[in-house]
Structure 1
Amino acid sequence: MNYLKPFDPAYCVEEERNCRRYTKYYEGVFAQGSGYLQIRGSYEEGLACADQGELYMRMPANVTIEKPRHPYSKWGVYVPGVTGIHPMLKEELVNLPYLLKLDVTADGEKLDMELPGIHNYRRCLDFRDGVLYRDFDWRTESGLVRCQYRRFLPRQLKRVVVQEFSFQVASGRCRLTIENGIDCKVTTNGYNHFKKVEESGEAGRRGCVVQTDNGDSIRMLSMLFDSQGKVLGPVVDSVLREGETLKLTKLSAVSTSRDLDAGYLEFDQMEALLAETINRGERVYLENKAQWARLWKRAGVSIVGDETAQKAVNFSIYHLLRSVNPDDSRVAVCAKGYSGEAYFGHFFWDTEVYLLPFYLYTNPELAKKLVEFRIQTLPGAMANAKAYGYPGARYPWESSVSGEEQCPNWQYADHEIHVTADVVHGIWHYYQAAGDMEFLKNALPVLKETARYWLARVCRRPGGAVTLDGVMGPDEYICLCNNNAYTNFMAARSLEITAWALELCGEAAEPGFIEDLRETAQGLMNSVDWSGVIPQCDHFEDYEEPDFETMWPDRSKPFGGQVSQEYNYRVKALKQADVLMLPYLFPERFSAEQIRQSYDFYYPYTTHDSSLSAIIHSILCVRLERDREAWELFQRALEIDLSEAKMGAAEGVHIANCGGIWQGVILGFAGMKWEYDCDQPTFYPRLPKHWKSLSFSVCMKGEFYRVSICGDQAHVIKVE
């Protein structure tokens, strides 16, 4: 460790003061992960004021405006896929025992970051290798202790957590007592999912086995080592004089009953893994660094002339890379990127629309895991359809590992059905990018079963009209409507994709099935007037005009949190882009004038209460050559997680916005066309005036390219 290590400000987030107000925010910002294992950036010793085992009943609510329960700190240790059953919130990601625990005392005085004796504090996360550093001086009654912490989750040892500590007595003399631990008294959203807990502590190790109420079993082992790699007891007691230093390494391992490769490890196997890890010394970090370097080589974006944007893009890429599991398609990336309890570890339409493009155009192998997740959860989608009285498959608004609907709020669970079409869009997007016919054949059951759902879900009117009634579009503030343009378009496209795929694969279908798909798709399109401003839904013009001046006095807070739901649902107030999602995803299908008219009509009604909103509008403004508005909206997206004042990441980072920021640069300012709209890499750049250049790599049709943009010129070179 280097106490004075310099950091590249473009590749790090740094906290220069410890303040209770911002602790929880930085826990989200400093989240680390190996794909398999994810942890929040909490202090090893915790905060005395933050009870991690508090029991309470969290009720279903609108999480966009819900006031969080834990104001100061909430630990988080997650293995994606390990879930529990909440009596009100359904299946949720379980917050596991806190295996990072390390208690430090100096002559009986316990370390707490809220002590007045903490000085010269600095904490920093390096995006390039996923390492979190913490340095501070601790003035105790016995003297001054200089403390240095370093921790990371080696990507090549996905089950392991490495924590390194250095305690130097800079003045005085004191007895330091270090206690290793695993804290099992952790609740998830106020609920205890641990049906059984067994703790052990012998032969220098701390261990635990917990079983969740959903049948998962988790085994953890933690051990302390000295600077020579010798195993120490769970409690280390050392008297240090001035100038002396105590260096320790804590290694922990996690294994679960869900593990695929090596299976569910026993304690002896985990101990052998930790022994091998400590024996490799600094090579463990160097191998981790090399793996991160390979990921950054594909995904990195270089912006010359804007350090703020560069840092925000790097922040986004880091969290996108750490939160995806490259080895397990039984899970996707949850809405908080496994950096907090909000959204309960569920998967939304974000997967296909906001996240998939980043992985697809930088690392198709990772993208494949996300689309394979939807294939894996087809049985759950079919169960959903059956529960609603329909044949086929209906993908849930909020999915967990089972694929069954987990949203506790009926408005979204029952009516936001466009996610079923979004899933098919993601599958087709991946197929067009990869040209993987075997994958497409494996995905055919998803296409056919979702098509059967749509054929039953539509309403066939006298005279031949086909409508989709009682739906909620992406907006979410128009609660129930008929013929939402986005839903109709995506459902129709889903049916067309299914017909294309069946013909392409030579798959036999029952007589008249393909014809029915195409006729229904055309009927859905005919139920929307596409001639001018695209109507969000039938009778949108009949909704009341919102009185924003009176009803929304504090623009720093969401509109939805300042009005009643009754008022919200009857006025033309939009939470986020709805109609405008269509020209964002399919710019070739709409004229520039139609996009301009639709944008100008809907934007004044848009509250941007959702983190998904600003970046979509920014991309459209770039295409409309509205440079100032594009830049302002892009900046708004950058601040969602990185603004300390707004503390947006306290409940976890907004991972969909991270994917959106990448899209804002590549699909917005760089002007890259979607792969399904071109045969080769195509760019129409319109960089912000102060950006001197932009460069990045993309993968298209299985080939990698290096793209360099200066002004309005793009240079594309194929990389062998």
Structure 2
Amino acid sequence: MIKYSHGKGDLENWLVSEEEFQPDTLGKSEAIMYLGNGYMGLRSATEEPYMKETRNLFVGGTFNKAGENEVTELPNIADVTRFDIRVDGDQFSLEFGKTKDYIKQLNLKTAELRRYFVWTSPRGKVLQFEFKRFVSLDNLHLISMKMFVKSLTEPVKISFDTGIDAQMNNSGSQHFLEGERRIFDKKDIQLVQTTNESKIDVVINSTHRITINDEQRIADPEMNMSRRKVWLTYDINLRPNDRLEVEKLTTVYTSRDKDLDITEYTTRQLREKSLNDARNCAMKGYDSLLHSHTEAWNNSIWNAYKLEINSDNPYDQLALRFSLYHLTIMAPAHDERMGIAAKGLSGEGYKGHSFWDTEIFILPFFIFSNPAVAKSLLTYRYNGLTGARKKARENGYSGAMFPWEAAWPSDGEVTPKLGDIDIVTGEQTKIWSGIIEQHISADIAFAIYQYFNVTADHEFMDHYGYEIIFDTASFWASRLEWDAGKQEYHINKVIGPDEYKEHVNNNAFTNYMAFFNLKLAIRYYEALMKENPRLIEVLNNKLDLKTAYPIWQSKAKKIYLPQPSEEDLVIPQDDTYLKLKEIDLTKYKNQEKLRTIYRDYNPEQINTLQVTKQADILLLFYLLNQTFLREDMQLSNAIKEANFYYYEPKTLHDSSLSLATHSILANDIGDADLAYSLFRKSTEVDLGPQMNTSDDGIHAASMGGIWKAAIFGFAGIRLVDGKLTINPKLPKQWHHMKFTIQWKGQPITLFLTKTTLSVKVENKKKIEFEIQDQIYACDDEINIEYENKNR
């Protein structure tokens, strides 16, 4: 069971804890307590092995195809965390003997994992164990571990194997060729792996330091080597109250590292560089390295974002810190050739691929909190333009059609063709998303629009942004289908955000977002013609904009946009949704495990029911309300409210992406209790007490959603067509809230209570913002009283 209240004093609401060892539910803490730094992610499996464990170490960008019939995925790199421990010759395991005072704990403040317990062996000897580890934010290549063992009662012989185990796989698929292995000076181990298809080298080094009672031991371990594995065996005798301490420091380097992209590369150089780094780290030791790592977290994350709330439920503060922690360790801030995977770097789920999750659910956090990372993630999409253009051509379209699942930028579309079982036929279901879930191209255009409006980064737009927006607009112009009878353009046979509806015509989200993409391209083209004709000339030579522009204009005027009905103001999700069969969804709305509807229906049957997987129409309201279409579409609060109460009861939230959007919209329409309830549910997707939610890895989009629900929902921060608006509606459980965002290149710190707002402009450059229809200007600090309009 996961516990939330162990932190006291300076660590209050900083600790995520597991109080009991449960060998059948190891995946939960392995995933939610995983360690990382954006370069690599290390799943938090226990040191000693168990049957149901999952040991994962991933390095971003190292994609590989295990076989011809496989799609590319992040390979599971060699394991360095396992210790095979023997006590008086017997294999150590918590499944035997007696355990007390067990605690496994992730300290979010220091990003360090700790496990402690007192264990009585089957022979009656009592030992105290403590394990610590972290993946450094200061040195992206470093994994640090420490093991303590103390005999509490009588003499005991401790033996353990420690090394590098490359006998790992991805759910059975092996990605690596047999590599070189070597041991230096009986303490430093090196292993080289090379992926079998993409030919990426991975060099791993582990170095060891053994002390007893704080005195370094000149150990003489047994050296061992077998296929894909190399290790040391130590045998140590402990007297009562003797304390054994083992430091194991590991460095991981790959030939895909960014600095090797621009220099002449040899495996020998990488081996020497990585080994020297490991040895230099060993000279500093675990505690010194932990200090540097902790300082990096304090300076770059906690002191930069300053997200604090005072809530009747302390869990809320912990949940927000949990989201910031995971958003940090999943983001490849070091390399614009890489995106964020749907599971971060915490597990094999979705094979390390990037989805629209990044642009719509994760990127907003970075746009408003760390624009440099946001820019890197959008540059990753620019680097994928070649693959997007190839996909468009292969499907008979023009422009850039971005892949539904993306890996290395040049890989193009990498969505698997087959998925889960069909409960009716017993066959694998076909995955249609890679072919007909096309809104991602407009989602990326929206993300660029949001980034530019918040940051005013003209350099990014000139080099990357405009080109993506123009080429995605050309895709939509070629994708539209003319309906001669209705004299309008349709978009048929698609999947919208609601993936329970396949091959639908005129999904409202897709049509509106395509329209937005076209109108955005028109606006930017016309603006650049006046303000930067030289850039237009360059882009015209590349994209033939003189031909494309009038096509965008003519087609945007005639695209079909589903309208609210006069009777109930509901916008149809697609052409047939409102005519589908309605069923009692109570048991699915109250489910403890997601997607239980598949136990009763197959995808074809679900397609005939008025049931929605995740936010679709409501997500459209949330996005368009931030744009220049806000007034054009007349998306009034009355229409928003009518659609919310129509679609929310039909939405199962069977995707972790969904709850935060509904929370924000509930807050917008003034339903404070429901907004808070949905926020809490979004925090529990991974952090909650259910022990089977995260076995395949954490839900990256949900982490972004937690932050969005707090900042865009309760604090009311919103971009509205280039303007900053602030309309706070704190829930009754929250007494005050403080956080820092970035706006137009400078940090802005806000402090909110239920009736007052303080805005501090850190760099004293004048900003303007709107609160409840009144404009304020500030170049220092301003205090404002406002009316809380929640009901």
- The normalised TM-score by structure 1 is 0.92
- Residue equivalent to 1:252: 250
Contact 2:336 2:380 in 1 (8 A): yes
Whole-angstrom distance in 2 between the partners of 1:603 and 1:474:
14
- Residue equivalent to 1:399: 406
- Residue equivalent to 1:523: 558
Deviation, structure 1 residue 324: 0.8
Contact 2:588 2:652 in 1 (8 A): no
Contact 1:467 1:523 in 2 (8 A): no
Alignment of 1:659 onto 2:704: yes
Secondary structure (helix, strand or coil) at the match of 2:523 reads: helix
- Residue equivalent to 1:650: 695
2:132 to 139, 150, 163: 150
Alignment of 1:269 onto 2:269: no
Contact 1:337 1:653 in 2 (8 A): yes
Question: Residue 403 and residue 247 in structure 1: after superposition, are their counterparts in 2 closer, same or farther (change >3 A)?
Answer: same
Alignment of 1:323 onto 2:330: yes
Amino acid across the alignment from 1:324: A
1:323-472 to structure 2, matched below 5 A, reads 323-401=330-408, 402-409=410-417, 410-443=431-464, 444-462=466-484, 464-472=487-495
Out of 631-640 and 233-242, give the one that drifted further.
Answer: 233-242
Deviation, structure 1 residue 525: 5.0
Per-residue Cα deviation, 1:477-512 (whole angstroms, up to 9, x for no partner):
111111111111111111222233333343134434
- Residue equivalent to 2:117: 136
Whole-angstrom distance in 2 between the partners of 1:581 and 1:35:
28
Identity of aligned residues (%): 27
Deviation, structure 1 residue 400: 0.9
- Residue equivalent to 1:56: none
Deviation, structure 1 residue 19: 0.8
- Residue equivalent to 1:42: 45
Contact 1:142 1:172 in 2 (8 A): no
Amino acid across the alignment from 2:258: L
2:304 to 298, 317, 320: 298
Q: Where does structure 2 lack aligned partners over 5 or more consecutive residues?
A: 1-5, 222-231, 418-430, 764-791
Secondary structure (helix, strand or coil) at the match of 2:280 reads: helix
Alignment of 1:498 onto 2:556: no
Secondary structure (helix, strand or coil) at the match of 1:420 reads: helix
Question: Residue 629 and residue 109 in structure 1: after superposition, are their counterparts in 2 closer, same or farther (change >3 A)?
Answer: same
- Residue equivalent to 1:278: 282
Q: How many residues align?
A: 692
- Residue equivalent to 2:572: 535
- Residue equivalent to 2:238: 240
1:220-239 to structure 2, matched below 5 A, reads 220-227=204-211, 233=221, 234-239=232-237
Deviation, structure 1 residue 199: 3.1
Deviation, structure 1 residue 271: 2.5
Whole-angstrom distance in 1 between the partners of 2:587 and 2:337:
48
Contact 1:145 1:171 in 2 (8 A): yes
Deviation, structure 1 residue 427: 1.6
Secondary structure (helix, strand or coil) at the match of 1:179 reads: strand
Per-residue Cα deviation, 1:361-412 (whole angstroms, up to 9, x for no partner):
1111111111111011111111211221222211111111135111124421
Out of 364-373 and 222-231, give the one that drifted further.
Answer: 222-231
Secondary structure (helix, strand or coil) at the match of 1:535 reads: coil
RMSD over equivalenced CA pairs, Å:
2.2
- Residue equivalent to 2:177: 195
Alignment of 1:477 onto 2:500: yes
Out of 448-457 and 161-170, give the one that drifted further.
Answer: 448-457
Out of 641-650 and 577-586, give the one that drifted further.
Answer: 641-650
Secondary structure (helix, strand or coil) at the match of 1:511 reads: helix
Contact 2:25 2:691 in 1 (8 A): no
Contact 2:511 2:561 in 1 (8 A): no
- Residue equivalent to 1:8: 11
Deviation, structure 1 residue 540: 2.4
Question: Residue 154 and residue 526 in structure 1: after superposition, are their counterparts in 2 closer, same or farther (change >3 A)?
Answer: closer
Out of 508-517 and 170-179, give the one that drifted further.
Answer: 508-517
- Residue equivalent to 1:54: none
Contact 1:683 1:714 in 2 (8 A): no
Deviation, structure 1 residue 556: 4.6
- Residue equivalent to 1:175: 157
Secondary structure (helix, strand or coil) at the match of 1:479 reads: coil
Contact 1:334 1:348 in 2 (8 A): yes
Contact 1:107 1:175 in 2 (8 A): yes
- Residue equivalent to 2:743: 700
Whole-angstrom distance in 2 between the partners of 1:370 and 1:553:
36
Contact 1:124 1:132 in 2 (8 A): yes
Question: Residue 555 and residue 658 in structure 1: after superposition, are their counterparts in 2 closer, same or farther (change >3 A)?
Answer: closer
Out of 119-128 and 104-113, give the one that drifted further.
Answer: 104-113
1:49-198 to structure 2, matched below 5 A, reads 49=51, 72-87=52-67, 88-140=69-121, 141=123, 143-198=125-180
Per-residue Cα deviation, 1:416-464 (whole angstroms, up to 9, x for no partner):
1000111111122112222122211222332232222212111123374
Whole-angstrom distance in 1 between the partners of 2:204 and 2:549:
52
Secondary structure (helix, strand or coil) at the match of 1:105 reads: strand
Contact 1:396 1:403 in 2 (8 A): no
Contact 2:20 2:102 in 1 (8 A): yes
Contact 1:99 1:183 in 2 (8 A): yes
Whole-angstrom distance in 2 between the partners of 1:361 and 1:434:
8
Whole-angstrom distance in 2 between the partners of 1:495 and 1:624:
29
Secondary structure (helix, strand or coil) at the match of 2:718 reads: coil
Whole-angstrom distance in 2 between the partners of 1:96 and 1:165:
22
Contact 1:229 1:278 in 2 (8 A): no
Deviation, structure 1 residue 550: 8.6
Contact 2:181 2:191 in 1 (8 A): yes
2:648 to 603, 607, 628: 603
- The normalised TM-score by structure 2 is 0.84
Per-residue Cα deviation, 1:154-175 (whole angstroms, up to 9, x for no partner):
1121111110111111111011
Contact 2:203 2:274 in 1 (8 A): no
Secondary structure (helix, strand or coil) at the match of 2:761 reads: strand
Secondary structure (helix, strand or coil) at the match of 1:360 reads: helix
Question: Residue 550 and residue 224 in structure 1: after superposition, are their counterparts in 2 closer, same or farther (change >3 A)?
Answer: closer
Contact 2:28 2:691 in 1 (8 A): no
Out of 222-231 and 360-369, give the one that drifted further.
Answer: 222-231
Q: Where does structure 1 lack aligned partners over 5 or more consecutive residues?
A: 50-71
Per-residue Cα deviation, 1:623-660 (whole angstroms, up to 9, x for no partner):
11111211211111111111232531221111101100
Question: Residue 231 and residue 290 in structure 1: after superposition, are their counterparts in 2 closer, same or farther (change >3 A)?
Answer: farther
Contact 1:706 1:719 in 2 (8 A): yes
Whole-angstrom distance in 1 between the partners of 2:584 and 2:731:
34
Whole-angstrom distance in 1 between the partners of 2:386 and 2:324:
32
Deviation, structure 1 residue 554: 5.5
